[in-house]
Amino acid sequence: MNIDSASQLVLVVDDCQLHCGVLKVVISQLGVTQIHVTHNGRDALALCEKFNFDLIICDLEMPEMDGLALLSELAERQYTGRLCLLSGHDENILKLAAMMCQQLGLDLVASLPKPVTSECLKSVLQTVGSPNTEKYCAKTLPSLFVDDLDEAFELGHLRNVYQPQCRFKNGVAGGYEALIRWYHPEYGVLTPYLLLPLIEQANWHNRLFFYVLQQALNDFSKAKFLGTVSVNATHTNFADPQFAKRVLECCRERGFNPSRLIIELTEMEVYQYDSVMVENFARLRLNGVELAIDDFGAGYSSLLKLADLPFTEMKIDRALIVSSHKDTRKRAILNVIVRMAKQLNMRLVAEGVEDSDTWRFLNLLGIDLCQGYYTGKPRPIEHFNGSELSHV
């Protein structure tokens, strides 16, 4: 397995002792050596006070404190590891529990019906990956302030990592998405979830965008890679009258062809477009910059945005992708999205692809690009070899 199994810390929570025993044996056979087992939610919480688990495998139906109550308590305690839910009930119960995880901000990697197969567990453990890559301990992490973030900008502690977007037809990366990470000198790698609230507080949306953009253009201008580079933006960036001009200037200064740049628009709030924003959209498209609508299917007024704005790429939200190969409702929705994208002549990217079954289904469906841990984790530019960056 392509994971650091020995260093993973796993907790199994299930009231059935026999099932716990079977899970423990199977997980240990997959290379994990640090496995804790408990039979109710209260005991699980007690163990979470002592250990920072990378993965909690949790049954939904248990005495004293069931799995649903445990999820709420884990969110209250700011659990930052991954979750895998189990249930002997029908799939609709698992789907509701998965929705609950999303609302609580918990990182759910799988919802599995009982009995669980070894192959399913292997896929879950591969998704979890190395536990120290982007993990922090909420109990020891101090409050972070705008001054801390300002210092991180100035000292270069904010660095890009890049996740490949691989073509379904041949597996070759057609592009990379730039994602920011905070390399804290004391607490290691911190994810954007800690960074973005401070960006909002300081109103540094442009500072962050151009920091990421310039770093990405520098990295890929030096490489021989001729594919696309994607950078995330919000409506606040587009509300700046100079936004498009600054983007194009950054490209010119580095000799980077604007047609290789994709700006992803992510929105989780309602707002009205004005003339400044529309002018920025138009100027970017006139100069070849592509525009992607991110998290399609999860945000606000997505269909109206498709009708009004010149998007060239649609990124399907991971909530629609996860387990889509075995979910009839998701399959129906994805079929509609694929047909619509083809009629609009838009490129389709599936986000959050984390197992072979999902990959095969999406490939048959006709989606263009795959982005997720199954085809590649986010990595610093120096971790890519020359051959990876020399193909298109």
Give the rounded distance of the alpha carbon of 311 from its chain centre: 21
State the pLDDT at residue 191.
78
Q: What class does CATH assign to 146-383? A: alpha beta
Residues 78 and 358: their CA atoms lie apart, in Å, by 29
Q: Counting beta carbons within 10 angstroms of the beta carbon of residue 255, is it exposed (0 to 12), middle (13 to 18) or buried (19 or more)?
A: exposed
State the pLDDT at residue 5.
54
CATH topology for the 9-129 domain: Rossmann fold (3.40.50)
Alpha helices in the chain (DSSP H): 17-29, 41-50, 67-76, 91-104, 118-128, 146-155, 192-202, 205-222, 235-238, 243-253, 275-286, 302-308, 318-321, 328-343, 356-365, 386-389
Low-confidence ranges of the chain (pLDDT < 70): 1-7, 129-143, 267-271, 299-301, 386-392
Q: What is the domain partition of the chain in residue ranges? A: 9-129, 146-383
State the pLDDT at residue 152.
95
Residues 153 and 147: their CA atoms lie apart, in Å, by 10
Residues 238 and 165: their CA atoms lie apart, in Å, by 25
Residues 211 and 231: their CA atoms lie apart, in Å, by 10
pLDDT digits (tens, 9 = 90+) for 59-115: 998 888 888 999 999 999 999 899 999 988 777 788 889 889 988 999 998 888 888
Give the rounded distance of the alpha carbon of 77 from its chain centre: 22
State the pLDDT at residue 378.
93
Tell me which amino acid residue 133 is. T
State the pLDDT at residue 134.
45
Same fold, 9-129 and 146-383: no
Residues 353 and 351: their CA atoms lie apart, in Å, by 6
Residues 220 and 254: their CA atoms lie apart, in Å, by 10
Phi and psi based region of residue 174 (left: phi greater than 0; alpha: psi -120 to 50; beta: remaining): alpha
State the pLDDT at residue 130.
44
